[in-house]
Amino acid sequence: MQQAAVQQAANDHAAALEAAQPMIVLDKVNKWFGALHVLRDVTLTVKERERVVVCGPSGSGKSTMIRCINRLEVHQEGRIEVDGIELTGDLKNIDAIRREVGMVFQSFNLFPHLTILENLTLAPIWVRKMPKREAEELAMTYLGRVKIPEQAHKYPGQLSGGQQQRVAIARALCMRPKIMLFDEPTSALDPEMIKEVLDVMVELADSGMTMVVVTHEMGFARQVADRVVFMDRGEVVEVAPPTEFFGNPRSDRLKMFLSQILRGH
């Protein structure tokens, strides 16, 4: 009965995706660090409410790709469009896009000199010009959703890694973004803390957020992703739904990658 409902929801989600608007468009994006060609003709479209997981060996350009989407890195060739706005040197466009795109980092990057609550209310107050009281209510709502409202008045240094990463997710959500980017959100965590962060991310996915997640958590990819992207040496090598991606990989590079990371599973 419950399984049928879940299946129904999944089908609805898939049907909705068919009709959805593209939220992120990368078209033949190229980037170099000095002479090193780190992104080669990367083309990828992410639709509204779609969940895309990006994986690949280290140095494959997956982090660089995701960081280009909110212009923490500048691409040199090609076109990136987010929510209909093209990313150029135009500061106004960059600001507009950053307001709509939340980001969660591998190393949390909470502001250590501010309390948890201040970390969460900072951007709503200064960027969204929200009254302080309203921002605090919003912050407490999201802290509740990541299940640590009782830590609001502590400082980041007093929290565990898993708690800090959940705060970082709540901080990004307080800007009410349309898109959430995750750059290896569990790679810096102790094993026993990975689950609490993934649980929050699964919940977020269920709520219909558009997500691009760079991760090595293949269980998460199987459970949540609409599509999985495999990158290697700056190229998008393969894009497929998780069942096909893991069950029937086409390219040799992906087969080798999967055999390496799934060894022992």
Partner 1 sequence: MTPPPAEAATMGQASAAFVPAEERRPPSLSVGPIGWIRANLFNSWASTAVTLVLGYLIIRWTLGFLDWAVFNAVWSVPGTGQAVNTTACREMKGIGACWALIGEKYRFILFGLYPFDEQWRPAVCIAIFVGLYVVSAMRRFWRRELLFIWIAALTVIGILMWGGVFGLPYVEQERWGGLIITLILSTFGIALAFPLAIFVALGRRAHNLPAVKALCVVYIELIRGVPLISLLFMASVMFPLFLPEGMNIDKLLRAQIAIILFAAAYLAEVIRGGLQALPRGQYEAAEALGLSYWQKTGLIILPQALRMVIPPLVNTFIGMFKDTSLVLIIGIFDLLNAAKTSIIEPAWQGFGTEAYLAVAAIYFVFCFAMSKYSAGLETEFNRHRNR
Q: Where do contacts with partner 1 occur on this chain (CB under 8 A)?
A: 70, 72, 95, 98-99, 101-103, 105, 107, 109-113, 122-123, 126-127, 155-158, 171-172, 175
The terminus-to-terminus CA distance of the chain in angstroms comes to 30
Nearer to partner 1, 108 or 230 (CB): 108
Nearer to partner 1, 152 or 228 (CB): 152
Structure tokens at 197: 């962060």
Contacts 24+ apart (CB under 8 A), 156-163: 156/108, 156/110, 156/111, 156/112, 156/114, 156/116, 156/119, 157/112, 159/116, 160/193, 161/108, 161/188, 161/189, 161/190, 161/193, 162/189, 162/190, 162/193, 162/194, 162/196, 162/197
Minimum CB separation from partner 1 for residue 215, in Å?
18
SS3 at position 156: helix
Minimum CB separation from partner 1 for residue 260, in Å?
28
Minimum CB separation from partner 1 for residue 258, in Å?
31
Minimum CB separation from partner 1 for residue 196, in Å?
20
Residue 102 is given by DSSP the state: E
Beta bridge mates, 182: 104, 213
Nearer to partner 1, 75 or 253 (CB): 75
SS3 at position 236: strand
Nearer to partner 1, 112 or 241 (CB): 112
Minimum CB separation from partner 1 for residue 112, in Å?
6
Nearer to partner 1, 98 or 253 (CB): 98
